[in-house]
Amino acid sequence: MVSFTRDTFHNSQILLSDRVLRYSRWSSHAIFGSAIALCLSTFIPSHWTSKLVNVAIAPVLFAVSNRLDRLALYAEGYGSISEAQSHIQYRNWLDASLAPPKREIQNVQPEVVETPNYYDWSNISDEAVGFLICGNSGSAKSSLATWLAGHLSQSNPMAVIALDPHFNDCWKLAGIKSIGKIEQIESALNWLLTELDARCTRKGEGLPLGDHLFVICDELNASLERFKDRKVVESTLRRLGSEGRKFGLTFCGLNQSSNASAIGIDAKYRSNYALILLGQSARTHPQLGKHLADVAYPCVLDGSIAPSLALHPTHGEYKVFKKQGNPPKNLIQINQLPLPSGLLAAIDDRPIAVQMLESGLPPNVATALSTQPQSTAIAPVFQKIINYLDGKDWKKDYEIKASIRDFKDSDAPLTEVQTYLQFLELQGYLETRSTQRGSLEARVIQDKTP
C-alpha cells in the first residue's frame, strides 16, 4: 500500500496518477461513444420500447462519461504536482548528500573518578589470626612485617623472632633476633608446634599461657624445599594460621608467590590468614588490580579480610618504585619481650655440653654427658620435659625416661636424664630433690614455664 503524505512524494505516486489519467480518459471515450450509438439507434426502425430504453440509458452514459472526464482532469493536475514535488525532494536529497557532514556537539560530562576506600590498618589486630605477605622482590615485604610487629606490640608486648634463610640485614636493624640455618629454622617451627600443644593444655588447666610471640618466617617456599620433614612443617603452618594467635603465637609468613598451596596451605586454611598482597601479586588481583596500575608500592588485603585496597604502611607515600628499595617510613618501635628460653634452646646449634657449661653445670658432668655415644637427645627435648611435668606432683627420673620418646628411642642412661633435669633446674624451670634410693624427682615451677 502506497503511503500518501502532505510533504512527501514518491515516484510510485506519479505512476499511479498517470495510470488513473489514462484509464479515466479511455473509459470516458468508450462510454461517450456508447451513448452516441444508443442515440443513433433510435433512428433505426424498431419497436418503440427498445427506442424508449435506449433513450433512457444514453443520458446516464453521458453523465458517467462526464464524471470520468473530471477525474482525468484531477489526475492530470495531481500528477503535475507530484512530479514537481518529486523533483524538489530529489534536489533536497542530492543537496543533503553532497553537503559536508555536520558535527554533532556532544555534551561531554566530566569523568567522575571514584576515590577508593582504603583499608583501616587499625582493624588488623582484630581481623587476623596469622599473616601471609606475598609479593615480588623489592615490594617491601620485610618492611611491612617489621611494621606489623611494631603495630601489634603497642597494646600487647611480645617477643619477636625472624626465620630467614637469606640472612636479611633488616631484622638486625629493627632489633629483631633472626636465625638463618635451615636446621635452626626447622627446630624453631617444631618447637612452635610443641609449644602450641602445651599452651592448649595450660589454657584448659587455667594456667598462664606464656608471653606473646610474633614469628616472622621469610622465604617460606625456599625453606620448605630444604627441610628434612616438610609435612611436619606444613602442619605447623596450617595450625599456627588457624589457632596460633588464640594462644599468643602469631605467625607471619613471607613469600614471593601468592600461591599459598605451594607452601602447603590450601584454600581451607588460607582463609584463616590475612593475605597481604604486594607488588605484582596485588596488581593481578582479579577484583582490585585495575586500581593499582600507577601505584609504586601497591597493596591489597584478602583471605580472612574482605578484599580491600590498602596503602602500604611503610612505602605508600613513595611515587616511584626502586628495585634496590626505598627506606621504610612510619616504622613503629617494637615493644619487645625476651624470647622464651625453650625457643632459644631449640635454635641453639652448639653442642649440648657447651650449653650446659655456660649454664653453670660442673665441667665433669657436662663432659661426661658429651662423651656418651648414645646421647641423641637435643635441646628441644627440654620443652618436652617441661610439658610432661606439672607443678603439683613430683615425677621420678625413671618415670620421665619411660614417658618421653626421645629418651626411649636413644636408650639414654638414667644419669643423662638426671643431667637434663639439673640443667633445667639451673635455668629456673624445675626444682629437683633426691630420694633415699639415689634417684632424682622433679616438678615444674609454674610461674617460670616459657
Q: Which H helix or E strand runs over 230?
A: helix 230-243
Whether 179 and 246 share a structural domain = yes
The answer to the question of residue 109 being in a domain is no
Strand extents, DSSP E, 192-264: 212-217, 249-255
The answer to the question of residue 345 being in a domain is no
Per-residue pLDDT of the chain (450 residues; tens, 9 = 90+): 444 444 454 556 666 667 776 777 777 777 777 777 777 777 777 777 777 777 777 777 777 777 777 777 766 666 666 666 666 766 776 676 666 666 665 665 655 445 568 899 999 888 877 888 988 888 899 999 999 999 999 988 999 999 988 888 889 888 999 988 888 888 888 888 888 888 888 888 888 888 899 999 887 766 667 777 777 667 777 788 778 888 899 989 888 776 655 555 555 666 678 889 999 889 988 888 888 888 999 999 988 888 999 999 999 999 998 877 789 999 999 999 988 877 887 787 665 556 555 655 555 555 544 544 433 444 567 778 888 887 678 888 888 888 888 787 777 788 778 878 877 877 777 888 887 777 888 888 765 555
Residue 407 is part of a domain; what is its CATH number? 1.10.10.10
The domain containing residue 19 runs over which residues? 11-94
Residue 104: per-residue pLDDT = 61
The answer to the question of residue 385 being in a domain is yes
Strand order in the sheet with 212-217: 177-179, 158-163, 212-217, 249-255, 130-134, 273-278, 299-303, 308-309
Whether 255 and 135 share a structural domain = yes
Residue partners of 407: CB distance under 8 A and separation at least 6: 377, 381, 400, 401, 416, 417
Residue 236: per-residue pLDDT = 75
The answer for 325, left when phi > 0, alpha when psi is -120 to 50, beta otherwise, is left
Whether 374 and 248 share a structural domain = no
Q: Domain end: 339, 370, 395, which one?
A: 339
- Structural domains of the chain, count: 3
Whether 335 and 355 share a structural domain = no
Whether 305 and 414 share a structural domain = no
DSSP single-letter state for residue 118: B
Q: Domain end: 299, 314, 339, which one?
A: 339
Q: Domain end: 316, 339, 362, which one?
A: 339
Whether 257 and 308 share a structural domain = yes
The answer to the question of residue 114 being in a domain is no
Residue 113: per-residue pLDDT = 46
Whether 146 and 295 share a structural domain = yes
The answer to the question of residue 1 being in a domain is no
Model-level pTM? 0.59
Residue 93: per-residue pLDDT = 66
Whether 298 and 416 share a structural domain = no
Amino acid letter at 279?
G
